[in-house]
Amino acid sequence: MNIAIVGGGAAGLMAAAAVQEARPNLGVSLIERNPELGKKVVISGGGRCNVTTGATPLGAVLESYPRGRAFIEYAMRRFPPQAVVAWFEAHGVPLKTEEDLRVFPQSDEGRSVVRVFEKLFQSSNSNVRVLLRTHVTGVKKSGRGFALSVRDGESIEADRLVLTTGGQAYRMTGSTGDGYAFAESLGHTVTALAPSLNSFFTAETWPKELSGLSIVRARLRAADGKKSYEGPFLFTHRGVSGPAVFALSALVAFETYDALHPLMISIDLSPAERLDALAGRLANLSRTNGKKNLKTVLGFALPKALAGVLVRAVGADGDMQAAQATKKLLTACAAWMKAIPLSVVGRGAGDEFVTAGGVETAEVNPRTMESRITPGLFFAGEILNVDGFTGGFNLQSSWATGRLAGESAATG
């Protein structure tokens, strides 16, 4: 029996490694259109490769997947973040967990992660045949197996097929969405697709004044009030970015917004504090620092650069003595701090920028990653309708589903 794996990203690499571990004598063709394996893995996390998350327990980890969390639960229990860490360290890549619970190679080089697989496949006992610069143009069922058409006219035959072609984000890495067409040609449904984990461009220009300013914790909320996320973010020259923004972008991935139809969001700079308590705190600061100007006093409660934006937003005289600020004015200041309004008119690049949507998970067996429609066909990674927040969650789901798909294809 031989297995073809189309896509040499995280899921494909782990699937091939899993086949090799489970049944070393099976023939595996790992097919990648790029001249090298793991191109997207190498550039993830700013080139450092955010391998997985250090978050625990698994139930909390699964909460970081806005789509597909129930589907991937079995795969994640089989190969959770702790097991991923142990696997890479056992294969010679020491890892470190940073304060924000992102896990990176100690070398801070994404290349070291991919090198693990290259060494595995180049070992003398490996039956994994790596086909680089090989562009699959079509797949079809052929008897009890599959026939893959390659751009140069060649045909590759396989008894079992694993599709790990990724989404359509980072097109320069080869993730152009071909796998969706392959899945549809084999009877599968592909859901609506949208970019996720992106920064926000805003109609307001004042964020440019604060470009680079980071806020450690805030709650970002979409206008409907149903979608929100609490975490760090930063202002950019075109809007806002950072983990909380990326997470909210995942939650609103399928909403359409542009200059004519902006997405209204709000930012709560003090999510643990009620409005009346914050207004009271501002009033106390104004009383105890009455001779200072209002802008300076507000700078005690939020970043000084943001205080200037605040006084403009509420129409106040920032140079007035704080003692002269009325209760109504301070309440207005507190209300702005609790719900800074922004009009989102576009998407920008994020740390990961993954695709939301994909192959309909109801058509795939979550305990094997095998198609419920076409026997012998398996899926793993971003091609599925599964996506997570930033912080190593997308690579984690790729490792987990890739390993399960590889084991199932080899032993099922």
| Band of residue 171 on the pLDDT scale cut at 50, 70, 90 | very low
pLDDT tens digits, 295-344: 999 999 999 999 999 999 999 999 999 999 999 999 999 999 999 999 99
pLDDT given at position 224: 82
pLDDT given at position 53: 98
pLDDT given at position 39: 93
CA atoms of 162 and 140, how far apart (whole Å): 13
- The pLDDT of residue 241 is above 80: yes
β-pair partners for 142: 145
pLDDT tens digits, 261-273: 999 999 999 999 9
- The DSSP 8-state label assigned to residue 268 in this structure reads E
Instruction: Return the structure tokens found at 187.
Output: 């009877």
CA atoms of 297 and 133, how far apart (whole Å): 62
Residues 104-131 have a mean pLDDT of 96
- Fold classification of 2-194+357-411 is FAD/NAD(P)-binding domain (3.50.50)
CA atoms of 164 and 8, how far apart (whole Å): 7
pLDDT given at position 124: 87
- The pLDDT of residue 193 is above 60: yes
| Parallel, antiparallel or unpaired: strands 128-131 and 194-195 | unpaired
What pTM did the predictor assign?
0.92
Out of 1.10.3470, 1.20.1250, 1.10.3210, 1.10.8, select the CATH number for domain 275-340: 1.10.8
Which tops the pLDDT comparison, 152 or 136? 136
Residues 10-19 have a mean pLDDT of 98
CA atoms of 162 and 22, how far apart (whole Å): 16
pLDDT tens digits, 63-86: 999 999 999 999 999 999 999 999
State the architecture of 195-269+341-348 in CATH terms.
Answer: Beta Barrel (2.40)
pLDDT tens digits, 379-404: 999 999 999 999 999 999 999 999 99
User: Are 162 and 407 within 8 A, CB to CB?
Assistant: no
What residue segments make up the domains of the chain, in order of their start? 2-194+357-411, 195-269+341-348, 275-340
Q: Which of 10, 13, 32 is nearest to 135 (CA)?
A: 32
